[in-house]
């Protein structure tokens, strides 16, 4: 409907077409969050759906030239995500993460990947390149939905601590699994078969990127050791991330492991969590554009029609089976890992339900995988991950809340939320009204006076520094006018 308008706009001014398209993407993503917020769904779901609505299968508001020319958003968005992941790879945290948590994480990630590979390669007969990459993506988990549920319910205890530790390690395993899988897939598609050298060389490249990323983390730490304003700290960190991304793209290597290494080295050398908070406040527009663009790339026709490249089955069938089998693999892996490590029965039975959501890292890796595999195979990979991610984000929060409740990590009963003495000073049983009043008073005492999240604190700090700098400049000018 808007093809002629797109062509006319591009002929008149390409810059105007790009700027207007970016504005539409930002506005559409924001407006959809107003709906998903009422439905208590993550923002990622809103962004993907917004992209589908304004894309070629919906209103077709974004020119194809903009969609095809904005592939770099995947690299930039994943650079921020991977760098933030490095914050959780602190040596002290690794020591605190017991051997049991590591075993459970490895088992659930491996079981999910193995289950998907068996489904796609052995049962559905899909080629090995597609199967191994999709299987690697199955190991990744999106912690945002589960973390949101934990905050909403106020859940705590051993179950929640184990969950947080597993989630912190899970994405790291997903990044490593993808790096190995894409090397195997590209070697397979090269026509010479999977040889040791064809897999070893890409893996050595990734190892080199890991080392260079660590050096960038060292440089970042050295540059930020000097006293800088909040604005300049942000400028330095973003410029180094962009520079590293550009180098990786130039040599055709994924920047993920390197950016994760950069974040890991920086947090271990500086113990500076404020920078991560500032970046988390800076990157929402970038992540929004990336996820909306992912929705723009969604191929609705491919879901229905069989794809000869990946098999004789429609992608909708493959996507639904992937959705079910990955959940089963996650649950089975947690169960077996918990049995081996002799973890609590509640962890064994319910932790798997909290690892269902999949978005962020998986969608970003799918975008990189689609670009690496290319053509119909890459498009099919991205379509399956996008479609299943929407399903995961719809079902994940509910399953996480159920698991937290069944594990006893939170309760809707007032007597379980806070404890009070049931006997008065005369050793007589207090009335139900007296107990209720005491519990309410105790809960009120525990509530923070003014709850502000970390991102808002980082923003407020930056605003205060800017305000102080402006006031100093005004005082300086007034002094010299005298």
pLDDT of residue 475: 59
Q: What is the pLDDT of residues 147-167, one digit of tens each?
A: 656 766 667 777 877 787 787
Q: How confident is the model at residue 432 (pLDDT cuts 50, 70, 90)?
A: low
Q: Which two tokens stand for residue 132?
A: 């191994």
- What is the structure's pLDDT at 68? 80
CATH code for the part of the protein at 72-406:
1.20.1530.20
**Comparison of pLDDT for 290 and 1, the residue scoring more:** 290
Question: From CA 55, how far away is CA 302, in angstroms rounded?
Answer: 15
Record the tokens describing residue 376, joined without a space: 């119909």
Q: Which residue has the tokens 């490895």?
A: 106
Give the HSE-up count for residue 109: Cα atoms under 13 Å, Cβ half-sphere: 26
How far is it, in rounded angstroms, from Cα 220 to Cα 379? 36
pLDDT tens digit sequence for 6-60 = 566 666 677 778 888 889 899 999 999 888 888 777 677 788 888 888 888 888 8
Question: What is the predicted pLDDT for the residue at 193?
Answer: 59
Nearest to 287 by CA among 81, 83, 458, 455: 81
Euclidean distance between CA atoms 88 and 94, whole angstroms: 9
Confidence of residue 444 (pLDDT cuts 50, 70, 90): low
pLDDT of 144 higher than 70: no
* CA pair distance 80, 137, nearest whole angstrom: 19
Residue 118: pLDDT over 90: yes
User: Which parts of 226-374 fold into alpha helices (H)?
Assistant: 230-250, 256-270, 274-282, 284-296, 300-304, 315-341, 345-350, 360-373
Of the two residues 365 and 339, the one the predictor is more confident about is 339
252: exposed, middle or buried (Cβ count in 10 Å: 0-12, 13-18, 19+): exposed
The mean pLDDT of the chain is 77
- Min mean pLDDT across 103-117, 348-362, 452-466 is at 452-466
Lowest mean pLDDT of 104-108, 241-245, 387-391, name the range: 387-391
Confidence class for position 392, pLDDT limits 50, 70, 90:
confident
- What residue has token string 């996507």? 319
pLDDT band at 344 (very low <50, low <70, confident <90, very high): confident
Which two structure tokens, joined as six digits, stand for 128? 């090995």
| For residue 188, pLDDT beyond 90 | no
Strand, coil or helix: what is 397? helix
Domain boundaries, the chain: 1-69, 72-406, 414-446
pLDDT score recorded for residue 127: 85
On the question of pLDDT at 405 being above 90, the answer is no
More confident residue, 308 or 318: 318
Q: What pLDDT was estimated at residue 460?
A: 54
pLDDT tier for residue 463 given thresholds of 50, 70 and 90:
low
Q: Is the pLDDT of residue 366 over 70?
A: yes
Residue 471 has pLDDT above 60, yes or no: no
């Amino acid at each position: 409907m808007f093809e002629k308008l797109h062509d006319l706009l591009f002929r008149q001014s390409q810059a105007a077409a790009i700027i207007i398209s970016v504005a539409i993407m930002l506005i559409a993503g924001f407006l959809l969050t107003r709906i998903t917020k009422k439905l208590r769904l993550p923002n990622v779901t809103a962004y993907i759906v917004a992209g589908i609505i304004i894309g070629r299968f919906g209103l077709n508001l974004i020119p194809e030239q903009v969609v095809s020319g904005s592939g770099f958003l995947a690299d930039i968005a994943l650079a921020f995500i991977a760098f933030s992941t490095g914050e959780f790879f602190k040596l002290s945290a690794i020591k605190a993460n017991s051997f049991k948590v590591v075993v459970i994480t490895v088992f659930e990630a491996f079981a999910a990947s193995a289950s998907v590979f068996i489904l796609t390669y052995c049962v559905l007969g899909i080629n090995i390149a597609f199967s191994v990459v999709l299987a690697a993506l199955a190991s990744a988990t999106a912690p945002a939905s589960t973390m949101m549920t934990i905050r909403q319910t106020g859940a705590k205890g051993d179950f929640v601590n184990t969950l947080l530790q597993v989630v912190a390690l899970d994405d790291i395993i997903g990044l490593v699994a993808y790096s190995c899988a894409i090397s195997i897939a590209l070697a397979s598609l090269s026509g010479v078969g999977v040889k040791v050298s064809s897999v070893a060389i890409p893996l050595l490249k990734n190892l080199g990127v890991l080392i260079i990323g660590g050096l960038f983390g060292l440089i970042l730490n050295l540059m930020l050791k000097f006293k800088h304003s909040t604005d300049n700290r942000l400028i330095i960190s973003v410029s180094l991330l962009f520079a590293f991304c550009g180098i990786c793209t130039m040599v055709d290597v994924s920047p993920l492991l390197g950016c994760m290494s950069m974040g890991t080295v920086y947090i271990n050398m500086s113990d500076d969590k404020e920078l991560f908070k500032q970046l988390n406040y800076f990157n929402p527009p970038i992540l929004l554009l990336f996820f909306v663009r992912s929705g723009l790339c969604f191929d609705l026709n491919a879901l229905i029609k069989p794809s000869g490249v990946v098999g004789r089955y429609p992608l909708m069938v493959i996507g639904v089976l992937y959705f079910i089998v990955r959940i089963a693999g996650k649950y089975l892996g947690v169960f077996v890992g918990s049995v081996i490590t002799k973890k609590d029965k509640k962890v064994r039975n319910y932790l798997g339900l909290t690892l269902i959501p999949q978005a962020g890292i998986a969608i970003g890796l799918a975008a990189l995988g689609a670009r690496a595999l290319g053509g119909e195979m890459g498009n099919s990979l991205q379509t399956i991950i996008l479609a299943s991610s929407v399903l995961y984000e719809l079902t994940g929060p509910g399953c996480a809340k159920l698991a937290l409740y069944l594990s006893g990590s939170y309760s809707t009963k007032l007597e379980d939320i806070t404890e009070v003495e049931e006997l008065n000073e005369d050793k007589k049983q207090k009335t139900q009204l007296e107990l209720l009043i005491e519990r309410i008073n105790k809960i009120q005492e525990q509530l923070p006076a003014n709850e502000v999240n970390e991102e808002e604190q980082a923003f407020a700090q930056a605003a205060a520094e800017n305000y102080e700098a402006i006031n100093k400049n005004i005082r300086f000018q007034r002094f010299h006018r005298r």
